[in-house]
Structure 1
Amino acid sequence: MKLFKTLCLIFCVVVMCSCHDKTSNTENSSIPNDTLQSVKKPKGKLFIIGGGSRPQEMIKELIDISDFKKESYLVILPMASEEPDSAVFYASKQFKGIGIDSKKIKGFNFEKGKENKAWLDSLKKAAIIYISGGDQTKFMDVVLHTPIYDALHDAYNTGTTIAGTSAGAAVMSKKMITGNEHKHKEYTGEFTTIEDKNIEISEGLGFLKNAIIDQHFVKRMRMNRLISIAIEHPNETAIGIDESTAIIVEGDSVRVVGASQVIVIKNKKKSIETKNGLLGADGLELSVKLPGSKFAF
């Protein structure tokens, strides 16, 4: 009788363990792969430049934070530019000007719908990937939902520094400012209103999931646009980077480098009001960050 009770107890334990394993496997299988991957902190850094001229000291800092070694190389992606060859030439010239051997600089002008496996493999192993200026929508039209996008994320996750200037800065965030307005179709470069449902947003590279980047910021007086973004996207930090200035992002930590300022706006109260097509909000938090300043998202 005692033996029978012991066997019954063992049987119950085995059944319970089996059920727990199945439940755990079911729960894990219900979690999307991209969610599981997002839990892992990327080993790479972001070097996001607001456009304009790039001081040599700022570019040297890009090289330094990337732990650029004798065997390292960097890749320039010029797909945002109307003149890709020129974009590669001038970016290469600046890198060579601070002592980078020309043999360590590669330019990959990917074309939409055309894969180059050798280039993709090189992207994943680069110490730095530098995205040129131009039109951010043009860049994403080539990259989004392609192996190039995947290779960029593989590189960032394993330690590559992703750098970009102007359009190359705009593409860094998940929600990307295109530069267009819904209510004012003719592009003037001037954002004279703070209206609801006006600033066009599309999908960027998604390295920043809780921030939206604007560039050429102080120089081109884009405050109205950033305020609109901050109000309508209260879960993201709105960041305006001026020309000749960059932010270095490592995890949730941000440091300002370069010659000018970075504007940071947060809609902490998640306040959104509209009246006659105009946007309003209470409790917006605005900071003006100088070179050397640090902040967190």
Structure 2
Amino acid sequence: MCPSPVPDGVDRGWIIPIGGGEEKESNPQILKRFVDLCGGDAADIVVLPTASRLVETGERYEALFSGLGAARVTTIDFDTRRDCNEPSRLERIAQASGIFMTGGNQLRLSTIVGGTPVAKLIRLRNAEGVHVAGTSAGASFISEHMIAFGEEGPTAVAGGVRLAPGLGLTNRFIIDQHFRERDRMGRLMTALAYNPFAVGLGLDEDTAAFIGPDNVLEVEGSGGITVLDASDISFTSMDVVDEGQPVSMLGLVLHQLVAGNTFHLSTRQASAGRLARQKR
């Protein structure tokens, strides 16, 4: 489950969680930047629609990425864990310059793909420089610790979230998506009370975190990213309250990022980025 080691002389590929509901028609800036990262008119993208039960999901992203100039786009679905051992599917993923996981239900990803040769190959290819993006459920699955489901609301509540193993491209953050639209602050705080090492990233719809090989997060899109840093928490009552009761968390740091802002996942430092220059 740990990220694959990066070979000498190679930069890890970008990791791009998207909060869902990304603009697909009038101004698809997030999807366009992903295509550009993957090579622009030479981009070779594999779409994994496993999280979705809708047949047309993969086909729609194929059309979108092709319309944005990608040279080759292929949908590869996995309905069973047995599918994840098929050599031809693994070979196609190994050829790609970008891998995109659609929305749906993240537990379909974790139960079908998790722990299989496909998951291992995606981690390996990302370490070798291939870019991996996921939207909604696909975003949640990216990290080692995945929010499987939980209660909506603004307050951390004991037992208010359930975690499951994710893909494991990184252990530096926990993702929650459709964040502002579905009032998910409480469940992300609860997840951090369980695991203060990680950074919580709450992604609004049509908003993405473009995370480079230097672990600097750049915001893209029309919404915001709520960053929760629990590394300096001085007290939490998670270990003494009963299930369903609110949890005290003292020392939690919150940043609200928008397009142009950055956050360094290693140093935990936020920056106004290009927005600071615009104010001069």
Q: In angstroms, what is the RMSD of aligned CA positions?
A: 2.2
Aligned residue identity for 1:284: L
Aligned residue identity for 2:261: S
> Residue 285 of structure 1 aligns with which residue?
253
> Residue 140 of structure 1 aligns with which residue?
110
Once residues 189 and 156 of structure 2 are traced to their aligned partners in structure 1, the CA distance between those partners, rounded to angstroms, is: 7
Aligned mate of 1:296, from 264, 268, 272: 264
The alpha-carbon distance between structure 1 residues 263 and 39, as it changes in their structure 2 partners (threshold 3 A), is farther
TM-score by length of 2: 0.83
> Residue 277 of structure 2 aligns with which residue?
none
| Residue 234 (str. 1) matches residue 192 (str. 2) | no
Deviations 1:167-204 (A, max 9, x none): 000001100001246xxxxxxxx346522233100000
After TM superposition, give the deviation of residue 95 of structure 1 in Å: 1.3
After TM superposition, give the deviation of residue 36 of structure 1 in Å: 8.3
| Residue 110 (str. 1) matches residue 72 (str. 2) | no
Once residues 177 and 109 of structure 1 are traced to their aligned partners in structure 2, the CA distance between those partners, rounded to angstroms, is: 22
Deviations 1:113-167 (A, max 9, x none): 2322111011122011110100000111111111111111121111111011000
Aligned residue identity for 1:52: G
After TM superposition, give the deviation of residue 48 of structure 1 in Å: 1.2
Q: How many correspondences in the alignment?
A: 253
Aligned residue identity for 2:120: D
| Residue 249 (str. 1) matches residue 211 (str. 2) | yes
Aligned mate of 1:217, from 155, 176, 179: 179
> Residue 152 of structure 1 aligns with which residue?
122
Given that 2:143 and 2:174 are in contact with CA atoms closer than 8 Å, whether structure 1 keeps it comes out as yes
The alpha-carbon distance between structure 1 residues 48 and 60, as it changes in their structure 2 partners (threshold 3 A), is same
Map residues 89-108 of structure 1 onto 2, 5 A cutoff: 89-101=59-71, 104-108=72-76
Once residues 11 and 88 of structure 2 are traced to their aligned partners in structure 1, the CA distance between those partners, rounded to angstroms, is: 24
* Residue aligned with 1:137, SS: helix
TM-score by length of 1: 0.79
> Residue 49 of structure 1 aligns with which residue?
18
Deviations 1:276-295 (A, max 9, x none): 44311111100000111111
Structure 1: runs of 5 or more not aligned: 1-32, 182-189
Aligned mate of 2:221, from 258, 263, 268: 258
After TM superposition, give the deviation of residue 99 of structure 1 in Å: 2.6
Deviations 1:70-98 (A, max 9, x none): 3x411000110011x31112112221332
| Residue 177 (str. 1) matches residue 139 (str. 2) | no
* Residue aligned with 1:278, SS: coil
Aligned residue identity for 1:106: T
| Residue 73 (str. 1) matches residue 44 (str. 2) | yes
The alpha-carbon distance between structure 1 residues 52 and 192, as it changes in their structure 2 partners (threshold 3 A), is same
Q: Once structures 1 and 2 are overlaid, which stretch shifts more, 110-119 or 261-270?
A: 110-119
Once residues 36 and 219 of structure 1 are traced to their aligned partners in structure 2, the CA distance between those partners, rounded to angstroms, is: 34
The alpha-carbon distance between structure 1 residues 98 and 221, as it changes in their structure 2 partners (threshold 3 A), is same
Structure 2: runs of 5 or more not aligned: 266-280
> Residue 184 of structure 1 aligns with which residue?
none
Given that 2:6 and 2:127 are in contact with CA atoms closer than 8 Å, whether structure 1 keeps it comes out as no
Given that 1:80 and 1:137 are in contact with CA atoms closer than 8 Å, whether structure 2 keeps it comes out as yes
The alpha-carbon distance between structure 1 residues 266 and 192, as it changes in their structure 2 partners (threshold 3 A), is closer
Q: Identity of paired residues, percent? A: 26
Once residues 35 and 97 of structure 1 are traced to their aligned partners in structure 2, the CA distance between those partners, rounded to angstroms, is: 32
Once residues 265 and 177 of structure 1 are traced to their aligned partners in structure 2, the CA distance between those partners, rounded to angstroms, is: 15
Given that 2:41 and 2:69 are in contact with CA atoms closer than 8 Å, whether structure 1 keeps it comes out as no
Aligned residue identity for 1:151: L
> Residue 12 of structure 1 aligns with which residue?
none
Structure with bigger gyration radius: 1
* Residue aligned with 1:37, SS: coil
Given that 1:79 and 1:138 are in contact with CA atoms closer than 8 Å, whether structure 2 keeps it comes out as yes
After TM superposition, give the deviation of residue 38 of structure 1 in Å: 7.0
Aligned residue identity for 2:28: Q
